[in-house]
Amino acid sequence: MHEVLGGLLGRRWETITLIFSFGIMFSFAAIQMVAVGNVVYYINDKLERRTWTLVLGSCFATTVFIPSLRNYRMWSFAGLVMIVCTALYMAFASLAIHQDNDVRHTAPHSIRSYFNGFASTIIFGAHAIPVELMDAMWQPSKYKLTSLYSDLFMTPVVLFSIISVYWAFGDNVQYNVFSMLPRTKFRDAAVVLMLLHQLIQYGICSQPLYIIVEKWFKIHQSSSYWKKTLVRTPVFLGSLLVAIMFPFYGTLSSAAGSIFMTWLYVIPCAASVLVFWTSKSQKNAIEQPPFGTSWLSLHCMNLGAILWMAIMAGGFATWASISVLRNQAHEFGLFAKCYRCPRRGS
């Protein structure tokens, strides 16, 4: 996207878009590492979560040696299937558990908790991103249709699991649903599928970062495999450092969504208004506004989206997520050995 906006609106737009794109992909990569350490703990708690993050996170270094995203197409689809199976297991396992009489379903208790939850919705349905990236790179003209189908597919699956889990456990779900479900072979299988999905997702998030760094050092077109590997390694080490420094999965996801993802909604909307502001540019547009709407209506919708995302997500949600992240860092400390691990014998 940054290259497209750079060609349409100039170098400054390209640079700003690249910064936010790099930020969100780097954050998502680190979040996958946090997730593997947290999830595998429910299979084997002999190691602390930070240790598991270092052990399994080190396996993610294999992505440094993968030449291009083309090699990921089959695996990206497999990862999507894995996360769907895991979500369905969570839903049906939760429904199979009889709801306790003391389960409570309460609203957010403060403005901060409301907007921290709102920040999580910004990245809602992001599990379909691997398939979207594949088609965006190799078939850009089909991206919009692919994105629509991905959202239509993932939204019901995600909502079904979320509603089922919250119905069964209510406010008792404070951290990870795996801790609420009984230890069975099906739960362990779901954990393994989740781990594999996170490895694939890390590869999808890190590969664009590797390409950006290669271009910064002007070796993207180089035939030297080891030069590329050398400049890619700091990206991996940086994401691993962030993962063990901030092991707060949910809060880190909220912060990444509000800080970076927000503006990746705002920037394209603003660019659309600027590029197609004049009647001449509107007539020369390759595609006209859909469903018979006018350019004025499209500009109004874009401006409305800009204001909503900038104020609600970029403002309030960013404040809330950073505030919660700061409080958790103060409570548990940076580089926490075992974030919210149950006490032995409890």
- The string of pLDDT tens digits covering residues 27-86 is 888 988 988 888 888 888 888 888 888 988 888 888 888 877 665 667 777 877 888 889
C-alpha–C-alpha distance, residues 311 and 218, integer Å: 38
pLDDT of residue 42: 85
Tokens of 51: 């240790």
DSSP string, 68-136: -GGGGHHHHHHHHHHHHHHHHHHHHHHHHSPPPTT------SSHHHHHHHHHHHTTTTGGGHHHHHHHH
- The string of pLDDT tens digits covering residues 284-322 is 888 888 887 888 999 999 999 999 999 998 899 999 999
pLDDT of residue 174: 66
Which has the closest alpha carbon to 299: 320, 322, 271? 271
C-alpha–C-alpha distance, residues 325 and 34, integer Å: 14
C-alpha–C-alpha distance, residues 200 and 264, integer Å: 23
Tokens 């660019």 belong to which residue? 271
pLDDT of residue 345: 44
pLDDT of residue 21: 87
**What is the Rg, in whole angstroms, of the alpha carbon atoms belonging to the chain?**
21
pLDDT along the chain (346 residues), means of 10: 77 87 89 88 85 88 79 73 88 84 80 84 66 63 74 82 86 78 89 88 86 88 85 92 88 86 87 90 85 88 92 90 89 83 56
pLDDT of residue 346: 41
- Residue 152's alpha-carbon distances to 147, 149, 203, 250, 342, in angstroms, are 9, 5, 24, 24, 37
Percent of the residues in the chain that have a pLDDT greater than 70, as a whole number: 90
Supply the pTM of this predicted model.
0.84
pLDDT of residue 336: 83
